[in-house]
């Protein structure tokens, strides 16, 4: 782990994750390219007035969600935050559904309801985020508590920002997870700013040290390195399944755009942004893969084509029926349990004893677990 905790070396080409096949490493890059491409296109659609509400993106932070999500198994449970689109892609939300979500269409994950990034597909093992930050830490902790009580070998994971660390919910979740040794992974996406608040106005200690205060391991990872993120999360999950409790992973990264589309981030020094631009997570993964013979231009072209087709499909899809606006506000009838997500890491590709991995099925499996 220590080798993954060093300061990011700009443009480093060394592979750090021993557990990934070449195919896995290409998939990591593809997921990051899809995230960036979808968000860039969605931003254009927003400026054209086609995306209702506000617009948030995770430009430059793609490795944090891609690397962590890939390390999670189909039966694990994820609470995905507003800058973590690659995690939705890895769990199995298609680009067309992502665009439909931004455009408020019936085919979107929430069918045109709630904010465009406040969602999670429960059929893929994800719980949609609520706006109150960081309440998903408590939700993930609660799910981990259920796994422990039922004796299930499963893990929950959630992302949250540096701003979240100042809230009481952060401390409550960390404390309970530590006391109970729960199988949960907390990914602190430290992107240097919470809206306009810089880190030195957010905490007086390095927040990773707080894990020790609650009795568990905290590690700091180069959040712009998808393979390092994968490896840290894989190790955290393995510890959780072995009954060793939670891990706090601090992913160091940078919010390269404003808080949302309306924010020109004039409070951020330009040099800081330029310094981080040299550590772009996509360029880093491309450099690694180019050096082992992967045709990056072909990959980029195929991602572009996929995004074009997905945007077209979503733009041609219908708006929700206004007469259904009041449906789904309160729960009615039997609760539908959460399903399993895709998990494309080759380590999960082999069928597990007693159940077929979703990655093999290529779709949401018929066996549904909560």
Ligand X SMILES: Cc1ncc(C[n+]2csc(CCOP(=O)(O)OP(=O)(O)O)c2C)c(N)n1
Mark residues 74-93: x for contact with ligand X by CB under 6 A, - for none: ---------x----------
Given 70, 127, 194, 364, the residue binding ligand X (CB under 6 A)? 194
Q: Which residue has the tokens 């299930």?
A: 152
The C-alpha atoms of residue 67 and residue 185 are separated, in whole angstroms, by 13
Q: Smallest gap, in angstroms, from Cβ of residue 195 to ligand X?
A: 5
Does 350 contact ligand X by CB under 6 A? Answer: no
Q: Minimum Å distance from CB 133 to ligand X?
A: 4
Task: List the one residue from 255, 257, 279, 344 that touches ligand X (CB under 6 A).
Answer: 255
Which of 75, 76, 114, 162 binds ligand X (CB under 6 A)? It is 162
Which lies closer to ligand X via its Cβ, residue 75 or residue 162? 162
DSSP states of 33-95 as a string?
HHHHHHHHHHHHHHHTT-S-S-----TT-HHHHHHHHHTS-TTSEEE--TT-HHHHHHHT--H
Q: How far is CA 167 from CA 134, 177, 201, in A?
A: 7, 16, 14
Using CB under 6 A, which of the segments 188-196, 235-243, 285-293, 321-329 binds ligand X?
Answer: 188-196
- Is position 189 an interface residue for ligand X (rule: CB under 6 A)? yes
Residue 272 lies near ligand X (rule: CB under 6 A): no
Interaction between residue 131 and ligand X (CB under 6 A):
yes
Q: For ligand X, which stretch binds (CB under 6 A), given 109-117, 190-198, 275-283, 337-345?
A: 190-198
Tokens of 57: 């993106």
DSSP calls for 125-178: TBPPPPSSTTHHHHHHHHHHHHHHHHT----EEEEEEGGGGGSHHHHHHHHHHH
Which string of b and e fits 236-251 if b means at least 16 CB within 10 Å?
bbebbbeeebbbbbbb
Q: Judged by CB under 6 A, which of 38, 87, 133, 177 binds ligand X? A: 133
**Secondary structure letter of residue 329 according to DSSP:** S
Structure tokens at 230: 């994968």
Dihedral pair phi/psi, residue 79, rounded to 5°: -115, 110
Structure tokens at 68: 């962590």
**Does residue 125 contact residue 341 with C-beta atoms inside 8 Å?**
yes
Token pair belonging to 108? 């979107």
Residue 210 within binding range of ligand X, rule CB under 6 A = no
Q: State the minimum distance, in angstroms, from the CB of residue 190 to ligand X.
A: 8
* Identity of the residue, 22 or 132, whose beta carbon is nearer to ligand X in the bound complex: 132
Strands (E), the chain: 77-79, 156-161, 184-190, 193-194, 197-198, 217-222, 247-252
Shortest CB 9 distance to ligand X, Å:
24
What distance, in Å, lies between the first and last C-alpha atoms of the chain? 32
Q: Which of 161, 223, 245, 258 binds ligand X (CB under 6 A)?
A: 161
Select 107 or 136, whichever has its Cβ closest to ligand X. Answer: 136
Using CB under 6 A as the binding criterion, the count of chain residues that bind ligand X stands at 15
Quick check: 196 binds ligand X (CB under 6 A)?
Answer: no
Report H helices in 204-280: 210-213, 226-241, 270-277
Residue 267 in the binding site for ligand X (CB under 6 A): no
Minimum CB distance to ligand X, residue 2 (Å): 26
Which residue lies nearer to ligand X by CB, 130 or 145? 130
* Span interacting with ligand X, options 21-29, 155-163, 245-253, 331-339, rule CB under 6 A: 155-163
Using CB under 6 A as the criterion, which residues of the chain lie in contact with ligand X when the complex forms? 83, 131-133, 161-164, 189, 191, 193-195, 255, 259
């Amino acid at each position: 782990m220590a080798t993954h905790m060093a300061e990011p070396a700009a443009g480093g080409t060394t592979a750090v994750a021993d557990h990934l096949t070449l195919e896995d490493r290409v998939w990591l890059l593809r997921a990051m390219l899809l995230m960036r491409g979808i968000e860039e296109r969605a931003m254009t659609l927003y400026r054209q007035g086609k995306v209702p509400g506000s617009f948030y993106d995770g430009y430059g932070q793609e490795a944090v969600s891609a690397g962590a999500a890939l390390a999670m198994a189909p039966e694990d449970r994820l609470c995905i935050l507003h800058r973590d689109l690659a995690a939705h892609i890895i769990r199995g939300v298609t680009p067309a559904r992502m665009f439909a979500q931004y455009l408020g269409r019936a085919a979107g994950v929430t069918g045109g309801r709630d904010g465009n990034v406040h969602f999670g597909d429960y059929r893929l093992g994800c719980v949609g985020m609520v706006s109150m930050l960081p309440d998903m830490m408590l939700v993930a902790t609660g799910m981990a508590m259920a796994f422990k009580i039922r004796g299930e070998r499963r893990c929950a994971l959630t992302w949250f920002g540096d701003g979240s660390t100042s809230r009481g919910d952060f401390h409550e979740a960390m404390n309970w997870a530590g006391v109970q040794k729960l199988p949960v992974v907390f990914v602190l996406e430290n992107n240097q700013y919470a809206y306009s608040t810089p880190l030195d106005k957010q905490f007086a200690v390095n927040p990773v040290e707080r894990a020790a205060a609650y009795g568990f391991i905290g590690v700091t990872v180069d959040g712009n390195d998808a393979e390092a993120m994968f490896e840290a999360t894989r190790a955290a999950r393995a510890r959780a399944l072995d009954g060793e409790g939670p891990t706090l992973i601090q992913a160091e990264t940078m919010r390269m755009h404003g808080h949302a589309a309306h924010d020109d981030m004039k409070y951020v020094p330009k040099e800081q942004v330029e310094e981080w631009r040299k550590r772009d997570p996509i360029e880093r993964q491309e450099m690694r893969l180019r050096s082992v013979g992967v045709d990056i231009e072909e990959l980029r072209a195929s991602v572009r084509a996929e995004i074009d087709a997905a945007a077209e499909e979503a733009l041609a899809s219908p708006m929700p029926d206004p007469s259904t606006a009041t449906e789904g506000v309160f729960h009615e009838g039997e609760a539908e349990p959460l399903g399993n997500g895709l998990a494309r890491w080759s380590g999960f590709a082999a069928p597990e004893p007693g159940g077929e991995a979703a990655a093999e099925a290529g779709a949401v499996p018929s066996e549904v677990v909560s």
